[in-house]
A and B are shown apart, each in its own frame.
Chain A
């Protein structure tokens, strides 16, 4: 069984207690009235599907109930780190060397998202 560290409970818990909630750090357009349909559609539906490192929202559904963010490797299913909702993602460069080659691209994408916010 995969153990996931919950940043609120501050302990590792079995994966069955958690639910994935899609990509993290997707900023809602501040003024939807002036947002074009294309931009709105992109905000709603367009997501990266990287092979490698991805920042995701997870929820400790059968535990403390909180949403948090996780950096996960989609190839190995390895949770690099987890952090509380609202916190900035940790420096992605730091763990880039630890993960599978080929994740550099995903890493760069992560960087863009970070600066976009």
Chain B
């Protein structure tokens, strides 16, 4: 890993950040108490992250078995699974939490995902997002809801130079255009 980073540093100057759309995914918001979270986590196939603004993931995103859970609030979780398994996941969590008060909402069509990769990714995001995105302040595995200019986004640092962005679908063209302007300026 250390070697990888060294190689990345050498190419940093010539490597511009690039932006691509994430594949279609099934997304859910789960809210419930500790017991509900435990049962839902079991049904989801991935224990939910304990700390607020942290992410847990397993498998390859978008591929069968890929699971992501982001804790966006004290009792709010954003769950991401492949489209093909979305209905099964929804049903499984619903069944597991039958007797426990909870809310499970399918928001697959509400969000679109983007992936921003490159050494200047944090700088590009800082064009519209006032959070401190340095590695000590925003480490790998941190995920939070925040603002990019006027658009509310969910920002997740998957790797030091790889950010995952979730945005409301109607804000997606605005976000993409704003990011591309920032990328041109960072170049």
Residues of A near any B CB (own CB < 8 A) = 1, 8-11, 13-14, 16-17, 62-66
Contacts and interface: CB of A to CB of B under 8 A. Distances in A.
Given A8-B74, A9-B53, 19 more contacts: A1-B130, A9-B52, A9-B144, A11-B53, A13-B131, A13-B146, A14-B131, A14-B146, A14-B147, A62-B152, A64-B52, A64-B72, A64-B73, A64-B145, A65-B72, A65-B73, A65-B76, A65-B145, A66-B74
Closest 8 CB pairs of A and B: A14-B130, A64-B73, A65-B73, A62-B147, A62-B152, A8-B74, A63-B145, A1-B130
Given A62-B152, A64-B52, A16 B76 contact: no
Interface of B: 52-53, 72-74, 76, 130-131, 144-147, 152
Question: Main SS of the interface on chain A?
Answer: loop
- Give the most central of A10, A16, A63: most B CB within 10 Å: A63
A14 B146 CA distance: 9
Question: Main SS of the interface on chain B?
Answer: strand
A16 B147 contact: yes
A52 B64 CA distance: 58
Nearest to A65: B73
